């Protein structure tokens, strides 16, 4: 049996504590995802500079350079949203739930996109066992699920828009 001495915090307030904890953990997952995206982008930039095709480096091909620009832009946007959510949490902003969900959503979806695009730029070599992108390609899926799947984040954001 649980006695009064065993109770932490307020009785019947555990769910609120859990939800506040998610407001901290979601930007943390977002930061992890931004790191994955940045690593994939860095690998793609090096590869596009060093790999030649059609008489020059891949980066000189407009399709590749535009893809890299998109990857970099999305990664930076996700990074800034994670920073904003962390700042909102630290300063106790009333919209921290929405900001945390947005940061987690954008960062994890961005990581999936950037890793996939980096694999595409590298070609089959990126899927060889031991290649850093092979590892990222396998691992990037999980952050889109934990601390609330993508669909859960969208539900939270939609509800928070009307508060």
Identify any residues that bridge with 56 across adjacent strands, giving them in sequence order. 53
* Complete domains list, the chain, with CATH: 26-160 (1.20.140.10)
> Tokens at residue 42, please?
């860095």
In this prediction, residues 101-112 reach a mean pLDDT of 98
Let me know: does 102 contact 157? Beta carbons within 8 Å: yes
Residue-wise pLDDT for 37-95, tens only, equals 999 999 999 999 999 999 999 999 999 999 999 999 999 999 999 999 999 999 999 99
Which residues are known catalytic residues?
A: 147
In this prediction, residues 137-146 reach a mean pLDDT of 96
The rounded mean pLDDT for the chain is 95
Look at residue 66 in the predicted model and tell me its pLDDT. 98
Look at residue 9 in the predicted model and tell me its pLDDT. 83
Look at residue 123 in the predicted model and tell me its pLDDT. 96
**Residues near 36 by beta carbon (within 8 Å), at least 6 away in sequence:** 111, 114, 115, 136, 139, 140, 143
Look at residue 30 in the predicted model and tell me its pLDDT. 98
**Does residue 7 carry a pLDDT above 90?**
no
Let me know: does 117 contact 67? Beta carbons within 8 Å: yes
**Residues near 67 by beta carbon (within 8 Å), at least 6 away in sequence:** 117, 120, 121
């Amino acid at each position: 049996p649980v006695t009064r001495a065993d109770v932490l915090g307020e009785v019947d307030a555990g769910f609120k504590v859990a939800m506040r904890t998610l407001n901290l953990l979601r930007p943390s997952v977002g930061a992890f995802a931004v790191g994955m995206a940045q690593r994939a982008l860095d690998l793609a930039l090096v590869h596009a500079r060093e790999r030649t095709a059609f008489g020059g480096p891949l980066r000189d091909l407009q399709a590749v350079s535009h893809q890299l620009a998109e990857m970099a832009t999305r990664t930076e946007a996700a990074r800034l949203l994670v920073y904003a959510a962390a700042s909102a949490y630290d300063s106790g902003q009333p919209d921290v739930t929405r900001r945390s969900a947005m940061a987690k959503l954008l960062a994890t979806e961005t990581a999936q996109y950037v890793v996939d695009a980096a694999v595409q730029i590298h070609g089959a070599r990126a899927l060889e066992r031991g290649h850093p992108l092979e590892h990222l390609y396998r691992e990037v899926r999980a952050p889109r699920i934990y601390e609330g799947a993508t669909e859960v984040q969208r539900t939270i954001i939609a509800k928070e828009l009307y508060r």
